[in-house]
A and B are shown apart, each in its own frame.
Chain A
Amino acid sequence: MASKISLEQCSSSTPTPSPKHQKFLDLKNQLNALHATKEAPADTDEWDWNATTPVTPKHKACIVEFFGQKQSPKTEAEDDSFL
């Protein structure tokens, strides 16, 4: 392979924005305004809440016995016991 040369910087500043670039910037602002929902942010707790009513330990134990818990190595044995 022939020896390669290092390319050098040729300009120090960004050229003046073109009309298309200006359109791009304006359109970004317009789209941002169009998609600016304020009424219910997507990642509030509303979407992520767990069951709010407390479950009694007895109820919980019965459910675990019935269906097994979420997948985890700990529950494998319990799951097998119901098959």
Chain B
Amino acid sequence: MTIKGIKDFELIRSLSLDTLNKMFNKPEQTVERVRTVANEALKRLPNASDSGLFLSFYDSVVKLDQEFFARNKTHPFADLIQRMSAQLPPEIKAKIRKEQRFREKLASLDLNSPDFNRDMQELKSLLTDLSKLGMLSPNETKNYENCFRSIQNRFKTGVMESRANEIVSKMSPAFKKGLDNAHTLIRGIDTELTSQMVRSLKECSEHPLSEMAAAIEKKHSNLLQHGVQRRVECAISQIVPQNNTFNKTFIQNFLRLVPILDTFHTTARPLFEDRWAKTLEVLQTQTEVPLDPLFTHYPNLSKEEFIPELCAMAELKYTRGLTLDVLCSPALFEEYFKRTNHALSEKLGALYDANYKKHMLDPHAWFTSYADSIKKPYSQAADIHLNLEDGTCFQNSLDRLSLLLKTPNLKAENIRMGSTQEGRATQARVKYTYSNAKVGLISIEKATELQAKSCERLGLTLSGETPACTTPKELIKFLSPKKDFLGILTLASPEGAHAIDVQIDHKRKIFRFIDDNTGIVEMDNYESFVTGFKTYLESLYPEFLAFKFETFNRA
């Protein structure tokens, strides 16, 4: 006879405590029946033909024991569970140990303990193990993770709540002051919410894992919502008397605003990312160079910079018409979001397209068409260790020019990008000189002269220059299909200036430019270089108004 044949085995394995209590008339009878069946199963285990069934029975007993504990704080099957677990295979025992450890850690969690952070780390690691062992579903795991994250962050103001605070603060300086004045009280609320969450975890640490996951998810989302309400009430209480007619409406609408913003961002971001992915797919069909890794070199061409900026811009448009009048009236609030949410996807799509065309289209088209000409990608903006706040392009260009004057045929891989210590120091002095000129301590001419002299640190002197051209088309007429050229292109816009090395060496077939915002770009021939360089300047620096070549000699 196998354990399958034990009377009541299947019932206990499949029914809930309530049903069993009804079936066996009272809880004491249920306990007795379970103990009898378990003892029988234990007796037969060495010959049991189906240990999976035994395990399932073991799980049922553990669950019943937890349900008993949840109701009357007793563990009627504690000894049985211990005896049954001793009979289980090692891998099952390991699972049980993990679960026990997880429960113990939850039950002993102490916010004031010096080991709190270590305990949270261990809990997170145990959670990962339980999830990998299939003891928790992905959703349940996420519930625990969210709860743990809130505890570790001490229930601080959430991202969307902060956005709502910022939006309302712009409308009402009084609200901003209320938030600032309530700072200490708000920290107190955060601590209280954290304590409540930890208490709930401890209280349900004996429940089945799935039940616990559902319970903490409910408690967690209640506390999050409660937190938003308490914090906004606290800020409002700093500026107006309690129970004012308007504060109730305002608070209610503020509470609605937070999830509305959340929904807005969870709509906008994926929509933008999807559009970006589709564009990248089109671009990738045009070149064999993998574009995603190429674009990661350039923050200004990557989605990591473009999409958050677009999200912020979209949010600004979405909330532009939101006023205190709207926030203080349920009807206006309703109407406002009905209007703004109308055809939202189309509006977001149009916003994306308009900004993509304005900021990304030309650079993306150029980088894709000339991807295989970029021999060494580089961006000073991404080079946080070797860059100064406003860049060091002119000094870097001088450093590279000095190198190329000595060794014109240097291969791209041997040309160092980034700034040198001397270059950074010189640039800092130049910046300081210009700051003195701005406040009238020296003349602007003197500052410009000092900048021009910065080439002397490399033993170079300015030997020639073109007049300032207003367009790249005009500028490239100073390059020749017959004459060599090695110099620096300086370009200026109302916002700033930039410098790029240019080298044309017909005999050695070197046609390249070196830009601290792009890297080293080499073309196969003069014609390709001239058109490529012209469109590069037009695509990447459309706002620049003056272009000038400068050449240098060794002193």
Contact = CB atoms under 8 A, between A and B. Distances in A.
Interface of A: 1-2, 4-12, 14-18, 20-21, 23-24, 27-28, 30-32, 34-37, 39-43, 46-53, 55, 59-60, 62-64, 66-71, 75-76, 79, 82-83
Contacts of A79: 173-174, 177
Nearest to B335: A53
Interface in B4-55: none
A60 B328 CA distance: 10
B170 A71 contact: yes
List 4 A-B pairs, minimum CB-CB distance, nearest first: A10-B480, A68-B174, A24-B369, A35-B353
B247, B365, B366, B551: residue with the most chain A Cβ atoms closer than 10 Å:
B365
Contact of B462 (A1, A41, A51): A1
Contacts of B335: 52-53
Contact of A5 (B177, B453, B464): B464
Nearest to A24: B369
B332 A53 contact: yes
B332 A32 contact: no
Contacts of B343: 39-40, 46
Given A23-B286, A34-B279, A67-B174, A4 B462 contact: yes
Contacts of A30: 282
Contacts of B356: 31, 35
Given A60-B325, A66-B324, A75-B173, 15 more contacts: A7-B466, A7-B549, A9-B478, A11-B480, A18-B528, A18-B532, A20-B528, A31-B357, A36-B353, A39-B343, A47-B340, A50-B321, A68-B172, A69-B324, A82-B240
Contacts of A82: 174, 239-240
Given A18-B532, A59-B329, A2 B463 contact: yes
B244 interface: yes
Interface in B357-374: 357, 361-362, 364-366, 368-370, 373
A11 B482 CA distance: 10
Given A20-B369, A27-B286, A6 B239 contact: no
Interface residues of B, number: 90
B532 A8 contact: no
B353 A51 contact: no
Contacts of B478: 7-10
Contact of B173 (A34, A39, A43, A68): A68
30 contacts: A1-B461, A2-B463, A4-B465, A7-B549, A7-B551, A11-B479, A14-B531, A15-B481, A15-B530, A18-B531, A21-B369, A27-B283, A27-B369, A31-B365, A37-B350, A39-B346, A41-B350, A46-B342, A51-B323, A51-B325, A51-B336, A53-B335, A59-B325, A59-B328, A63-B328, A66-B244, A66-B247, A67-B328, A69-B172, A69-B324
A24 B528 CA distance: 12
A44 to B, nearest CB: 8
A14 B346 contact: no
- Which of B346, B352, B368, B480 has the most chain A CB within a 10 Å cutoff? B346
Given A2-B463, A51-B325, A67 B531 contact: no
B532 A21 contact: yes
Q: For B482, B535, B555, which residue has the most chain A Cβ atoms within 10 angstroms?
A: B535
Contacts of B181: 83
A36 B525 CA distance: 35
Most chain A CB atoms below 10 A, which of B464, B481, B531:
B531
Kindly name the residue among B340, B350, B351, B527 whose own CB sees the greatest number of chain A CB atoms within 10 A. Answer: B350
